[in-house]
Amino acid sequence: MKLQDKICIVTGAASGIGKEIALTYAREGGKVAIADINKAAAQATADDITKAGGTAMAVAMDVTNEEQVNAAIAEVVAAWGGVDVLVSNAGIQIVHPIEEFPFADWKKMLSIHLDGAFLTTKACLPHMQASGRGGSIIYMGSVHSKEASVLKSAYVTAKHGLIGLCKTVAKEGGKHAIRANVICPGFVRTPLVEKQIPEQAQALGISEDDVVKKVMLKETVDGEFTTVQDVAEVALLFAGFGSNALTGQSLVVSHGWFMQ
């Protein structure tokens, strides 16, 4: 058990990548808080974990709302006594050409991805410092933390920003053994991506099949989507890593789409 009794908070864990990370952490002995804006879906994930013999709780959290973030982290600390692992994963996608990108959508994207990462980090750090055990903070970046694609200006900007936050947390956290990392997945077939396929087909004037083959998976070595399990394995590696050796690093998980 790589995370025995570690107290883990995963945002956006009611669906997709975050849910798989939560299931993986629980299988490895972690106590997992499922933090999501969709409380009912978060509770369903927590119930799945509990039925399988793991330990989980659901907390309602809009990651853009400081009061909700602080209240949810306080709820987890009250229940279990601290925080050892934070996975800041909640995210959405909105695509437009820059000249048509509504400012409100731009601000929403930056708020969920960057304010969410900042607020959850800020709320968890004091508990990781106070415990004397250190901790692991993992940001869900993307290949778009390193690379750009058309129509995704806000997403690419936000995901690049997470690399800067991660490096700063790594520097400030080093003396407390608090590590920070970014995971950078390629396309993973979750609801977030399913929604983009028809949208991109319309915006680019191509078929949905071509969006998958010629846009999303074109640069991979095997024409395969990255899987939620691929990403969860990396999240387990970072959460369970026993030293500062990897802190500040980001790792691309993309079936060869983007190689550093």
Annotated catalytic residues are 155
DSSP-assigned letters across all residues of 162-216: HHHHHHHHHHHHGGGTEEEEEEEE--B-SHHHHHHHHHHHHHHTS-HHHIIIIII
Q: Is 190 in the site for ligand NAD (CB under 6 A)?
A: yes
190: which strand partners? Answer: none
Q: Which sign does the torsion angle of CA 62, 63, 66, 71 carry?
A: positive
Please pick, from the candidates 62, 134, 151, 181, the single residue that binds ligand NAD as defined by CB under 6 A. 62
Cβ proximity to ligand NAD: between 40 and 52 the closer is 40
- CB nearer to ligand NAD: give 18 or 134: 18
Identity of the residue numbered 120: T
11 lines the binding site for ligand NAD (CB under 6 A): yes
Residue 38 identity (one-letter amino acid): N
Q: Check residue 140 for interaction with ligand NAD (CB under 6 A).
A: yes
Q: How far apart are CA 15 and CA 47, in angstroms?
A: 14
Question: Binding of ligand NAD at residue 188 (CB under 6 A)?
Answer: yes
Should residue 142 be labelled a site residue for ligand NAD when binding is judged by CB under 6 A?
Answer: yes
Using CB under 6 A, which of 44, 71, 192, 206 touches ligand NAD?
192
Tell me the pairing of strands 7-11 and 178-185: unpaired
Window 12 to 51, contacts with ligand NAD (CB under 6 A): 12, 14-18, 36-38
Binding footprint of ligand NAD on the chain (CB under 6 A) = 11-12, 14-18, 36-38, 61-64, 89-92, 112, 140, 142, 185, 187-188, 190-193
